[in-house]
Amino acid sequence: MSLRTEFVLAVEGLTVSFDGFKAVNGLSFYVDEGEIRVIIGPNGAGKTTVLDLICGRTQATGGSIKFRGKELTRMKEHAIVHAGVGRKFQNPSIYEDLTVFENLELSFPRGHSVFGALAFKRDAEVIAEVESIAETIFLTDDLDKSAGLLSHGQKQWLEIGMLLIQKPDLLMLDEPVAGMSVAERKKTAELLRRITEGRSVIVIEHDMQFVEDIADRVTVMHQGKMLSEGSMERVKNDPKVVEVYLGH
Amino acid sequence: MSSRNQIRYFERKDLIGFALLAVLLMLVLPAFLDVFRLNLVGKYLTYAFVALGLVLCWGYGGILSLGQGVFFGLGGYCMAMFLKLESSDPESTAIQSTPGIPDFMDWNQLTELPWWWEPFYSLSFSLLAVILIPALFAFIISVAMFKRRVGGVYFAIITQAIAAILTILIIGQQGYTGGVNGITDLRTLKGWDIRSDEAKTILYFVCCVLLIGCLVLAQFIRRNKVGRILVAMREQEDRVRFSGYDVSNFKIFVFCLAAAISAIGGAMFTLQVGFMSPTFVGIVPSIEMVIFCAVGGRLSLLGAVYGTLLVNYAKTSFSETFPELWLFAMGALFIGVVLAFPNGLAGLFQRYIEPYMPAWYWGKSKQPDPSPPPEPKTPPAETDGPPEIQESNAPTVAKTKKETETETLKGGQYVPAD
């Protein structure tokens, strides 16, 4: 049992059923401290649903999700965030009517209650933090720009930046390089490697080259269940995986 | 680099806008209008409170409420109950079978004042109730809805149903509420006759001061982090939620704030017009208030005030000539505004006028010199189109327009549409 507590995230027997259809079925996996875990699998395998379950967007039908010993399945979304779990959505979810600065500022972990927000002051700490994150995500020159004017890739980076400023212990990224140009992909891989230092990350991705670049371990999902797990090398040579996913 | 400074609550252009509105309402209109018309404008301004609440709630928060009349009405009723009790002293109600209770209770065979009317003998309680009762009611509604993630169209329909229910309740409980006539024949406030010309003028100024106070409060919210969270929530609710905010709390907050602001308007309505009735609670007035807000521009605080004044002015002149057509005109106006200029008058102003504003307007030089930019001036007309163009040059030209109104408004009797 002492081993169990070392995991950042322990998912056990996780099941969710939508009107009888089991989108995730008895899934178990464990994420270590500082590990980059990539979840791959064909469309409809339940990858995004797993992230939804962890961050509280979807309620699990059964099983448990323990984050640093805390049971997440019964917690509210915002409480899960405060516990240290950050989530990036598949489509860039940013606030297009606000500036890049304001987007980042809103994610700064202070003033989360109504009255906290009313009393919120844009002090030197906030400004310094926003500027340092902006530098990390290559957006220093665009801070005063309206976020709606950014390119698709820049929007993805901005959302990653919005997560970074929350300083989560577990970062979950849903297809972070989808729709990016080759140059942007490269930059994003580099960005991810930098930001994953000192935190655990779960990534959903289809781009195999990208997966190979970043993954410590890979989980392959198929029809809501785990098909295979291990290093990229091992997974690539697993005949079951080749059949359902990598073969085509 | 502007965004990296401390948050500024008032930029130069906001200050100019607020100052022009204050000058228009508190100097220009009183100078050119007689007491009757000033009182009429005062009545319109009470709707502007509701429109202002809708800017925050709908424009910023994305929560469309089609039941703001409920809060306007509750605020107005709280005020009316106090005034009614004061005018129902035993001497002036001596002919009733039970002297000392409001006349409508006597007609309805009530022999004593209901217990929940008792606290309204106190002015301080009544003034608190004006704000707190509607806010509490809004709190109950919004907790019930937003904690369950009811939103959008469903929320709008539910608020509309609540407006209908409250109207029916008020009309049905005639003995306690005055029924369909409402609470009428209000005379004095702590012995001060509110029906005199002098009182009406003073109440007009009180209304203006309160409105500007609410505008300043709304500006503070808008520029505050809460304002940015509201915008963020409107666009990407999930992103806000997964950034660690309990979204429902912010919705509850803004809905209650809008309710409280509307209620102040309702209380000022009762004071200035001298009665309160269920016609201001129901669906039609609630939707009208949304139209005022949409015409003014749902993202503009000042736009809400100009939109309210303009639509009501049009309504007064138009419904005089074609009373039965007014509701159709109003519907057409709403559809027209949503289709052609979704950001209302304020949107037109920002798009066509603001770019030509000189440097002082943006806060670069020191000398404000209000000279309106060239703009085709159309006569005050009852059609949907022209007033927009005209009002779009905002405060400065609106002044001259209000001056001409003195002529055209003669005998402009307001007829509540419902």
Tens of pLDDT, residues A65-76: 999 888 999 899
Nearest CA in chain A to B253: A114
All structural domains of chain A, each given as residue ranges with its CATH number in brackets, are 4-246 (3.40.50.300)
| Range of weakest confidence among A109-118, B45-54, B291-300, B351-360 | B351-360
Mutate to test the interface with A, among B1, B2, B3, B6 (most CBs of A within 10 A): B3
Percentage with pLDDT > 90 across chain B:
67
Tens of pLDDT, residues B78-106: 999 999 999 998 888 888 888 889 999 99
Q: Tell me the nearest-neighbour CA distance from A42 into chain B, angstroms.
A: 25
Q: What SS3 class is residue B342?
A: coil
Instruction: Tell me the pLDDT band of B50, cut-offs 50, 70 and 90.
Output: very high
Would you list the DSSP string of B52-71? Answer: HHHIIIIIIT----S-HHHH
Indicate yes or no: CB of A144 within 8 angstroms of CB of B2. Answer: yes
Which chain A residue has its CA at the smallest distance from B252's CA? A114
CB A240 within 8 A of CB A230: no
Instruction: Provide, rounded to the nearest whole percent, the portion of chain A with pLDDT above 90.
Output: 56
**Domain boundaries defined on chain B:** 11-408
Q: What is the pLDDT of residue A193?
A: 80
Cα(A56)–Cα(B244) distance, integer angstroms: 12
B298 vs chain A: nearest CA distance in angstroms?
Answer: 15
In whole angstroms, give the CA distance from residue A123 to residue A120: 9
| Mean pLDDT for the stretch of residues A139-153 | 92
CA distance, residue B234 to nearest chain A CA (Å): 9
Mean pLDDT of the region A161-184: 89
| Six token digits for residue B233 | 């929530």
Give the pLDDT confidence score for residue B338 in this predicted structure.
86
Helices (H), B322-393: 326-340, 344-348, 359-362, 385-392
3-state secondary structure of B91: coil
Q: Is A167 touching B (CB cutoff 8 A)? A: no
Res A187 pLDDT > 90: no
Mean per-residue pLDDT, B370-390: 39
Q: Residue A87: its chain B contacts at CB < 8 A? A: 242
Cα distances (Å, whole numbers) of residue B286 to A75, A139, B139, B189: 38, 45, 18, 28
* pLDDT tier for residue B5 given thresholds of 50, 70 and 90: low
Residues 6+ apart with CB under 8 A from B16: B361, B368, B370
Of A81-95, B318-332, B350-364, B389-403, the one with minimum mean pLDDT is B389-403
Kindly report the pTM of this predicted structure.
0.86
Which of A48, A95, A171 is the mutation pick for testing B, counting most B CBs within 10 A? A95
Nearest chain A CA: its distance from B235 CA (Å):
6
A63 CB-near residues (< 8 Å, 6+ apart): A11, A12, A13, A14, A15, A26, A27, A28, A73
Kindly give, in sequence order, each residue whose CB lies less than 8 Å from that of residue B121, ignoring residues fewer than 6 positions away.
B82, B85
Q: Give which of B306, B300, B283 is closest to B56, Cα–Cα.
A: B300
* The pLDDT value given to residue B380: 39
pLDDT of residue B209: 97
Interchain CB distance below 8 Å, A106 and B225: yes
CA angle A164, B147, B225 (to 5 degrees): 45
pLDDT for A99-135, tens place per residue?
A: 999 999 999 999 899 999 999 988 899 999 999 999 9
User: Which ipTM value was assigned to this complex?
Assistant: 0.90
**Which of B221, B225, B235 lies nearest to residue A97, judging by beta carbons?**
B235
The pLDDT confidence band at residue A240, using thresholds 50, 70 and 90, is: confident
Tell me the chain B residues in contact with residue A101 when contact means C-beta distances shorter than 8 Å: 3-4
Instruction: Give the confidence band of B385 by pLDDT, cuts at 50, 70, 90.
Output: very low
pLDDT at B399: 38
Distance from CA of B350 to the nearest CA of A (A): 16
The pLDDT of residue B397 is above 50? no
Question: What integer pLDDT is reported at residue B367 of this predicted model?
Answer: 38
- Cβ of A118 and B238 within 8 Å? no
Query: Given pLDDT bands bounded at 50, 70 and 90, which one contains residue B1?
Result: very low
- Other C-beta atoms closer than 10 Å to the C-beta of A2 total 5
Q: Within an 8 Å CB–CB cutoff, is residue A135 touching chain B?
A: no
Confidence of residue A91 (pLDDT cuts 50, 70, 90): confident
Residue reference for tokens 């917690």: A75
Greatest mean pLDDT range, A72-76, A112-116, B6-10, B258-262? B258-262
Residue B130 reports pLDDT greater than 80: yes
CB within 8 Å: A87 and B253 = no
Cα A67 to Cα A50, A162, A219, B198: the distances in Å are 14, 21, 18, 69
Q: Which of A97, A118, A159 sits opposite B226 (nearest CB)?
A: A118
Beta strands across the sheet bearing A9-18? A21-31, A9-18, A62-67, A70-71
- For chain B, say whether A162 makes contact (Cβ under 8 Å): yes
pLDDT at A176 over 70: yes
Lowest mean pLDDT among A1-5, A64-68, A224-228, B76-80: A1-5
Give, to the nearest 10 degrees, the angle between helix B12-23 and helix B394-408: 10
Give me chain B's average pLDDT, please. Answer: 85
Q: Are B297 and B307 in contact (CB under 8 A)?
A: yes
Q: pLDDT tens digits for B283-332?
A: 999 999 999 999 999 999 999 999 999 999 988 888 878 888 888 888 88
Which chain B positions have a beta carbon within 8 Å of A127's beta carbon? 4
Establish, for the pair of chains A and B, how many residue pairs have beta carbons separated by less than 8 Å.
Answer: 92
